[in-house]
């Protein structure tokens, strides 16, 4: 059943390619075919549950930078399929919204927009969901430091009264971990991943970080 799904999908959409995967059948779909492909999976292949929708940031300077990943589950055949799509525009990534297929995609897409700044075209209400509405950054992007960046509070009145702001967490040099995928022993040795405190790299400035706003 699962192998059939990817074969059928590839027959219907010639642009679809296999995605390396060790657990569930997985495909790469171009953004242009994404909506039609997911609709086909839902209606013809009985993938009735949109389990998860998320994005992966492959770091600044890598192109394509953002990949959006869907996990669908079929209650009738008890199988998963992973659908991935690379966003074409690294500076202003956008993909079609799936809210008309699964209303449950609404919050997932809002979260993805909040955390990565990916636009979902056709979304009925694309607002931030976890961070407050006036928050200027997208925290799960790789250039965003672990400690956070000092940001004014959501309510200007409170900011004025108290003079406080949402401040970056004191990292105290931690956490000490090895970088993923390093082969060089010196580079791979455990060190504080967030080096904004150290002399090795200057603390990221507010202006340095791209502020992605509407």
Partner 1 sequence: MATDFTFPDSGAKVASARTEAATGATGEFQTEKMSLSMGPSHPSTHGVLRLQMELDGEILTKADPVIGYLHRGDEKIAENMTYNQFVPYTDRLDYLAPLANNMAYAIAVERLVKLEVPARCQAIRVLTAEMARISSHLMGLGAFALDVGAWSVLLYCLEEREKLYKLFEELTGARFTTSYTRIGGLARDVPEGWLGRVNVFCDQFLPNLEEMLSLLTRNKIFMDRTVGVGVITKADALAYGLTGPNLRGSGVPLDLRKDKPYSGYEQYEFDVPVGSTGDCYDRYLVRGEEMRQAVRIIRQVITKFPGGPWYATDARKIFAPPKDKVLTSMEELIQNFMLVTEGPQMPAGEVYFEAENPKGILGFFIVSKGGGVPWRLKIRSPSFCNLSILPKICVGCLISDVVSILGSLDFVMGECDR
Q: Which residues make up the interface to partner 1 (CB under 8 A)?
A: 20-24, 26, 48-52, 54, 56-57, 69, 71, 73, 75, 78, 80, 82, 102-104, 106-107, 111, 115, 128-132, 139-140, 144, 146, 148, 175-182, 188-190, 193-194
d(CA 84, CA 86): 7
Handedness of CA 138, 139, 143, 144 (dihedral sign): positive
**What's the distance, Cα to Cα, between the start and end of the chain in Å?**
43
Ramachandran region, residue 117 (left: φ > 0; alpha: ψ -120 to 50; beta: rest): left
Toward partner 1, which CB reaches closer, 32 or 134? 134
Cα dihedral 37→42→45→49 (10° resolution): 130
Whole-number minimum distance, CB 108 to partner 1, in Å? Answer: 8
- Return the closest-CA partner of residue 70 out of 27, 32, 36, 40: 27
Nearest distance from residue 175's CB to partner 1, in Å? Answer: 5
Q: With respect to partner 1, which residue has the nearer C-beta, 107 or 208?
A: 107
**What is the chain's alpha carbon radius of gyration, rounded to the nearest angstrom?**
20
Bridge partners of residue 191, in order along the sequence: 177
Residue 122 CB, shortest distance to partner 1, in Å, is 17
Measured from the CB atom, the residue of 32 and 173 that comes closer to partner 1 is 173
Q: Which is nearer to partner 1, 14 or 38 (CB)?
A: 38
CA distance 184 to 190: 12
Instruction: Return the H-helix or E-strand segment holding 10.
Output: helix 2-12
Q: Cβ(7)–Cβ(65) under 8 Å?
A: no
- Comparing CB distances to partner 1, the nearer of 11 and 59 is 59
Give least dist CB 2 to partner 1, A. Answer: 12
Specify the residue, 11 or 183, whose C-beta has the smaller distance to partner 1.
183
Of 101, 95, 102, the C-alpha closest to 31 is 95
């Amino acid at each position: 059943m699962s192998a059939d799904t990817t074969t059928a999908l590839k027959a219907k959409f010639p642009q679809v390619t296999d995605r390396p995967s060790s657990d569930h059948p997985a495909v790469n779909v171009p953004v242009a075919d994404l909506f039609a492909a997911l609709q086909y999976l839902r209606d013809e292949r009985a993938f009735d549950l949109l389990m998860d929708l998320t994005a992966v940031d492959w770091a600044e300077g890598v192109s394509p930078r953002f990949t959006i990943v869907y996990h669908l589950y079929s209650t009738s055949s008890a199988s998963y399929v992973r659908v991935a799509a690379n966003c074409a525009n690294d500076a202003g990534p956008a993909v079609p919204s799936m809210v008309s297929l699964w209303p449950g995609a609404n919050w997932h897409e809002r979260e993805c927009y909040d955390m990565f700044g990916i636009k979902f075209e056709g979304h009925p209400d694309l607002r931030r969901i976890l961070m407050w509405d006036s928050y200027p950054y997208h925290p799960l992007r790789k250039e965003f430091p672990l400690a956070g960046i000092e940001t004014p509070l959501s309510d200007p009145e409170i900011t004025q009264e108290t003079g406080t702001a949402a401040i970056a967490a004191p990292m105290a040099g931690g956490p000490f971990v090895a970088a993923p995928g390093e082969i060089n022993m010196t580079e791979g040795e455990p060190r504080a991943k967030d080096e904004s405190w150290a002399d090795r790299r200057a603390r990221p400035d507010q202006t340095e970080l791209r502020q992605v706003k509407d």
